[in-house]
Amino acid sequence: MTKFSLFLSVLSVSSLLFPSNGWSADRSQQRNLIPLPAELTWQEGELPIDSNFMVALEGRKDSSLEGAVQRWLDRLAKRTGVRVSKMIQASPEQAKFVIQCEGEGKAPSVLQDESYSLAVTTLQARLSAPNPLGILRGLETLMQLVRSHGKRHMLPCVTIQDRPRFRWRGLLIDVARHWQPVEVIKRNLDGMAAVKMNVLHWHLTDDQGFRIESRKFPKLQEHGSDGKYYTQLQVQELLAYAQERGIRVIPEFDMPGHVTSWLVGHPELASAPGPYQIERTFGIKDPTFDPTREEVYQFIEAFLGEMAKLFPDEYLHIGGDEVNGKQWNQNSKIQEFIHEHNLKDNHDLQAYFNSRLSQILTKQGKKMVGWDEILHPQLPKNIVVQSWRGPVALAHAAKTGYDGILSYGYYLDHIRTAAFHYNVDPIPSNSDLTAEQRAHILGGEAAMWSEYVTSETIDSRIWPRTIAIAERFWSPASIQAVVDMYRRLEVESIRLEEFGLTHRSNYATMLQRLAGKYTVESLKVLADVVEPVKLYARESAHHYTSETPLNRLVDAARPESDTARLFRNAVDQFLKDAPRVGRSQEVQFVLTRWRNNDKKLRPILEQSELVAEAAPLSRDLSTAAKLGLEAVKFLKSGQPASVSWQDEGRRILDRAQEPRAEVEIAVIPGIRKLVLAASQLEKLKGLPAADWNRELDSQVEASKRKLEK
């Protein structure tokens, strides 16, 4: 076989397992809208995008709307090469794209209408909305509709009536644990707008950093930020940038806990004497504000008054989570205050603090947002509870008359799959909430806590999984097809690169740095099949501080291995053919590649201290892949494997599934499924293919749970 024919063979097989995500001539593969609209009807035909494609604005016009249209045209030019140089101000019937805005533009609010209508015929596209915000949402849908075939560019004919399911569709970005520069926030705002998210929850203060300029209390940023903070001019710039994209910005100033960075410059606010230093480690810390002293409330009122003028949104987040109460318990004056005011415990004391805080915010024209812990009968009904505890806690808040948003299930730092996040709903299908109570569920927020991300890696932790969350917040609850979600998500992930997001490009950069002078291919083979450990496993695996370099394989690895997901799909398809088992080629191809990769990777493992910790993973991947090839051989022959082979295979896979170097080999469940099928061939032969797969999936999950324990 020649090198060229070998290349074609490899390309053919790999395309079976890892199909192209480009546009297909098949219309069904071109419907890559995400989030999916509320109502959509495809029509026959298409509207060309060429030099005759001109835009007309009807109805109300303002500079913000014209700016949004111009940004859209600039993106269209980059994507297609077609430059629309002017907008027609009269004779809209001559235009190929008519935008009709019925109402004037206002600052985005939680109650603002975001609906739009879009109709594309072979003669003209027409987008209409009650206000510029709806136009913004419709423009993003229209951009996703753009298709190219060679030198031809077009829009498919379609009719869309669209509106969001939830009013609050947010992304929390924590800039306190690890500082994130202005350009990081801007590119993520662009990504949010592209998938119709409308709230940036900006976590600006925590034990590790105070990240905003206060002109009234400059010691806050001067002593509490290591010089890494946003000036008020930068904040105003970012607020304008967000508003242009239809995104509200809600700042979070966490209190009365998570306040170490405040206390470095102002120890007089604390419940225990200082001095204080910026916290370099993570977790729940002891320092808290003293809620019994009037001077503390005077300081907070002055500071929040300054911030209220800076941030125009009607909501302001006060955190309110994870107060361990140690400083309160050890302060005799605070304990006397609790007794004198007939408070039961620290929870009541925090409710007292929050009640005072709510009064301060009301004076400033703001409404309070806080985490689950703030919920207390003393607080007014106009607060918003952000739930990390789950839909049950959120439903309880709604039943008692409080608005709420869900973040449980959307913590991006937990390193869950897009499918996991997609299957979490602010209002689950089994919810017993009445229609009135459901109205209190405003939506949800994905949460990007930054203990283990830098500006180099944060995009890869936010995207592309947040695209799936965005669809859950926008689209009808009936949209549930996970496989189709992944197909559309991958297309949008590629599109997002036009904003400068680095969730794809930095992967190659980081791997090449780890590989040093060697080519990166063998390291990429390993990196493609591993995922960082889940939940809070990194906390116990390694001693981290805010100054620890985040430059290892665990940092380069993607939160979800597409290779592992596609391999599992290929295994499922292979086993569905049982007992014929005729579709083994693609499975054998990748297993052979993994089996042979350890030898190719050894030079890199031996020369790099950063990668050397992955040596056991590489060996285990090779051994597990060899076992998978043996399983395929048994299945193809129809002969069951021996008991000794089964026992040895279980030991190999159990060892390979154990996390090392803070990553886990994500393809092991797929290989285990093959091994289980080979071990139980006689038992499974009599079952329908669907039952066969379900039985094996159940056993794979049982093995995973057993190992996790």
- End residue of a domain, out of 465, 495, 525: 495
Name, in order, each residue with C-beta under 8 angstroms of 705's C-beta and a sequence gap of 6 or more.
none
Q: How many helices (H) and strands (E) does the chain have?
A: 29, 19
Look at residue 51 in the predicted model and tell me its pLDDT.
Answer: 87
69 domain residue, yes or no: yes
Instruction: Answer yes or no: is 467 within a domain.
Output: yes
Phi, psi of 618 (to 5 degrees): -60, -45
Same domain, 471 and 509: no
Q: Is 322 a catalytic residue?
A: yes
pLDDT score for 350: 95
Read off the pLDDT of residues 240-276 as tens digits, 9 standing for 90 and up.
999 999 999 999 999 999 999 999 999 999 999 989 9
* Predicted pLDDT of residue 581: 53
Is the residue at 18 inside a domain?
A: no
pLDDT in tens, 309-357: 999 999 999 999 999 999 999 999 999 999 999 999 999 999 999 999 9
Statement to judge: residues 487 and 592 lie in one domain: no
**Cβ atoms of 351 and 379 closer than 8 Å:** yes
Among 322, 490, 497, 539, which one carries the catalytic annotation?
Answer: 322
Q: Are residues 421 and 320 in the same domain?
A: yes
CB-based contact 98:125 (threshold 8 Å): yes
Do 194 and 55 share a domain, yes or no? Answer: no
Dmax (CA) of the chain: 89
Q: How far apart (Å, rounded) are the C-alpha atoms in residues 472 and 417?
A: 14
Q: Spell out a b/e string for 92-129, using b for 16 or more CB atoms within 10 Å of the CB, else e.
A: beebbbbbbbeeebeebebebebbbbbbbeeebbbbbb
Q: Provide the whole-model pTM.
A: 0.94
Same domain, yes or no: 472 and 565: no
Do 509 and 485 belong to one domain?
no
Q: What is the pLDDT of residue 582?
A: 56
Where residue 359 sits, what CATH number does that domain have? 3.20.20.80
Q: Are strands 315-319 and 209-210 parallel, antiparallel or unpaired?
A: unpaired
pLDDT of residue 60: 84
Same domain, 156 and 175: no
Q: Does residue 365 sit within a domain?
A: yes
**Cα–Cα distance measured from residue 266 to residue 262, given in angstroms and rounded to the nearest whole number:** 6
Mark which of 426, 461, 495 sits at the end of a domain: 495
Query: Looking at the structure, do residues 213 and 321 belong to the same domain, yes or no?
Result: yes
Count of structural domains within the chain: 3
CATH number at residue 59: 3.30.379.10
Domain boundary among 495, 524, 558: 495
Strands 441-448 and 152-162, sheet pairing? unpaired
* Same domain, yes or no: 197 and 158: no
Q: With respect to residue 610, please indicate whether it lies within any of the assigned structural domains.
A: yes
First-to-last alpha carbon distance for the chain, in angstroms, is 49
Give the DSSP letter string of 557-576: S-SS-HHHHHHHHHHHHHHH
Query: Does a structural domain hold residue 150?
Result: yes
Do 443 and 554 have their domain in common?
no
Q: Give me the residues of the chain with pLDDT under 70, please.
A: 1-30, 85-86, 88-91, 578-583, 689, 709
218 in Cβ contact with 274 (< 8 Å): no
With respect to residue 19, please indicate whether it lies within any of the assigned structural domains: no
pLDDT at 12: 35
Residue 55 lies inside a defined structural domain of this protein? yes
Q: Which domain holds residue 646?
A: 505-708
Assess whether 259 and 296 both reside in one domain: yes
The reply to whether 378 and 272 lie within a common domain is yes
